[in-house]
Amino acid sequence: MIRARFGTLRGLVRLILSYPQLALGLSASRPADPAQVRRLVFVCQGNICRSAFADVVARRAGLRSASFGLSTTTGRAAHDPAIAAARALGHDLAQHRAVDMADYVPQAGDLLLAMEVRQLHRLAADPRLNHLPRTLLGRWTAPVLPHLHDPYGLDDPYMAICLARIEQAVERLVSAFPRARLS
């Protein structure tokens, strides 16, 4: 059950620890004014599973979006199991190419949406990005899951659950940030 729902025991522990971090204001979030948000920028470690998928879902939903990884190689293709799981959900990740944090170009109106609290801390520590509003994508899942554990290298059932959670969160972002819509 742990592997299918949380990826690993470490994923479950990080999820449990993320709730008090969020509640006590220790997550390094920086609130966004929804009226100022013009583009949703999804962030994860490698930009080949979670943030890549969120970007594809957001674009399909008619939102301005981008994605990048905190430690990746720009141009890297999406992870094959993520491509397969995305396809099963009706999304195409085959054309995605990763963008490294160093190659991401911030724009006025960007909202950074990370998958893990520790990623928010990395964004807050970067002088080029620390002024941007940032939060956790998992705040838009139901129930709230402030830690969306990395499915890279894990089994297919967890990959499917992780991407379904991300899809649900992105669908809820549509109404939360109406000025990020393309039309």
pLDDT of residue 145: 97
Using an 8 Å Cβ cutoff, are 85 and 156 in contact?
Answer: yes
pTM: 0.97
Helix %, strand %, coil % of the chain (to 5): 45, 15, 45
Residue 181, pLDDT > 80, answer yes
Residue 46, pLDDT > 90, answer yes
Number of H-type helices and E-type strands within the chain: 6, 4
pLDDT tens digits along 87-119: 999 999 999 999 999 999 999 999 999 999 999
Q: How confident is the model at residue 183 (pLDDT cuts 50, 70, 90)?
A: confident
Strand partners, 134: 30, 112
Residues annotated as catalytic are 44, 50, 150
Which runs of E-coded beta strand occur in the chain?
39-44, 65-69, 110-114, 134-136
Q: How confident is the model at residue 179 (pLDDT cuts 50, 70, 90)?
A: very high
Using an 8 Å Cβ cutoff, are 182 and 62 in contact?
Answer: yes
Q: What is the DSSP string of 88-129?
A: HTT---TT-B--BGGG----TTEEEEESSHHHHHHHHH-TTT
Q: Which domains does the chain have, with CATH numbers?
A: 2-180 (3.40.50.2300)
